[in-house]
Structure 1
Amino acid sequence: MRLMAFDYGTKRIGIAVSDPLQIIATALDTVHPEKVWDFLKSYLETEQIETFVVGQPLQTDGTASESAQHVVGFIRRLKRTYPTIPVAEVDERFTSKIASAAIAQSGIKKHKKRDKGLIDTISATLILQTYMDTQKY
């Protein structure tokens, strides 16, 4: 079964999934928060998810950021909508900066580098890879 990660934002949600063996995290899509529930319903009709992984927005000192309340609401609805799928939380500090740096070094064309949706899906991929790396040991 796959894992699915979310980089939650009030304008966009970056989504990543693992392969069925949970070895590789791959960027899946970016969706508007209002459309994420339809997206999930459709995705779950063909794929099984073992765990949802949600990036927890923290300040550099480890305290909750301003956007943390939105993530709490998202997690609450995930748990209510899909009660059989556990939700794990992962510190997402610096994932957007790491994603931006990776894009800058990737050779992607300049206009694509500014695509915030791309940053969000790569951030979700980093969140998922972090989670998978911590589960292996």
Structure 2
Amino acid sequence: MSAKPNKTIFLADDDADDCMLFEDALREVSTSTELTTANDGVELINLMETTVPPPPDVIFLDLNMPRKNGFECLELIRSTKAWERIPVVIFSTTGQEEMVRKVHEQGANYFIRKPGSFPKLKQAIKQILDIDWTKHSWKPVAENFYYQY
């Protein structure tokens, strides 16, 4: 069995504790994955402008961030030709139906409500890393869009 190729993940989240937990969980799920974090939406977009191509394999995007929030980032990502096909997973503490619907309409690939435990966080990250985006339905139906652990 051959090792999976390295994956690159971008995480945009203004909560330092959430970023550290995410990184710890990611390391336990996959040691060959490279994580780059941005502390807000402006930092994420700057990162995208300076490093893409190559695009990350997936972007985990918090909604409530200063300077440029997740909605604004998602809109910009989906309207930029070089970035429009990068999978975006909304990763937020909110689970409000209106917000979930809005980011689904904006073109996010999944919405994961931030899990309340470390094992569930690892499960959520592993689920996303296991997706083969080349074979996956680009825009899931609304019923398959929102994951709550």
Which bracket does the TM-score occupy, shorter chain normalised? Answer: 0.3 to 0.5
Larger RCO (CA within 8 A; separation ≥ 6): 1
Higher-strand-fraction structure: 1
What TM-score does the superposition give when structure 1 sets the normalisation length? 0.42
Relative to the length of structure 2, the TM-score reads 0.40
Identify, as 1 or 2, the structure richer in helix: 1
